[in-house]
Amino acid sequence: MPSTNNPAGSGENGGGVRSVQRAFDILSLLTEDRRTLTIREVVDETGLAKTTALRLLQTLEHMGLLWATRKGYAAGPALWRWAHLARHAWELPPETVQLMRELGERHRETVNLYVLRDVHRICIAQQESPQPLRHVVRVGDELPLWSGASSKVLLKDAPARLLARIARSSPHGEEHLATLQEWIAGAARDGYAASHGERDPGLSAVAVPVTGASGATVAALSLSGPTVRFGEERVQEFVADLREAAKRMSDRGFDHPLT
Average pLDDT for residues 195-199, to the nearest whole number? Answer: 94
Q: Is it the case that residue 13 has pLDDT exceeding 70?
A: no
CATH topology of domain 15-78: Arc Repressor Mutant, subunit A (1.10.10)
Please provide residue 121's backbone torsions phi and psi, each rounded to the nearest 5 degrees: -115, 140
Q: Is it the case that residue 45 has pLDDT exceeding 50?
A: yes
Share of the chain above pLDDT 70, in %: 90
Q: Letter for the amino acid at 250?
A: S
Average pLDDT for residues 233-251, to the nearest whole number? Answer: 94
Q: What is the pLDDT of residues 139-164, one digit of tens each?
A: 888 899 999 999 999 999 999 999 99
Provide the strand spans (E) within the chain: 36-37, 66-69, 72-75, 110-117, 120-127, 142-144, 193-196, 203-211, 217-226
Three-class secondary structure of residue 37 per DSSP? strand
pLDDT at residue 1, rounded to an integer = 37
pLDDT at residue 5, rounded to an integer = 43
Q: What is the pLDDT of residues 50-93, one digit of tens each?
A: 999 999 999 999 999 999 999 999 999 988 888 777 766 667 77
Q: Is it the case that residue 192 has pLDDT exceeding 50?
A: yes
Q: What gap in Å lies between CA 179 and CA 164, rounded to an integer?
A: 11
pLDDT at residue 80, rounded to an integer = 84
Domain range annotation of the chain: 15-78, 90-251
Strand order in the sheet with 72-75: 36-37, 72-75, 66-69
Q: Is it the case that residue 258 has pLDDT exceeding 70?
A: no
Q: What gap in Å lies between CA 13 and CA 102, rounded to an integer?
A: 53
Average pLDDT for residues 39-57, to the nearest whole number? Answer: 93
Q: What gap in Å lies between CA 190 and CA 179, rounded to an integer?
A: 16
Question: How far apart, in Å, are the Cα atoms of 187 and each of 164, 209, 233?
Answer: 18, 9, 18
> Domain 90-251 belongs to what architecture?
2-Layer Sandwich (3.30)
Average pLDDT for residues 210-224, to the nearest whole number? Answer: 92
Q: Alpha-carbon dihedral of residues 159, 163, 164, 167, nearest 10 degrees?
A: 180
Please provide residue 36's backbone torsions phi and psi, each rounded to the nearest 5 degrees: -135, 155
Long-range contacts of 3-9 (CB under 8 A, 24+ apart): 4/62, 7/59, 7/62, 7/63, 8/56, 8/59, 9/55
pLDDT at residue 211, rounded to an integer = 92
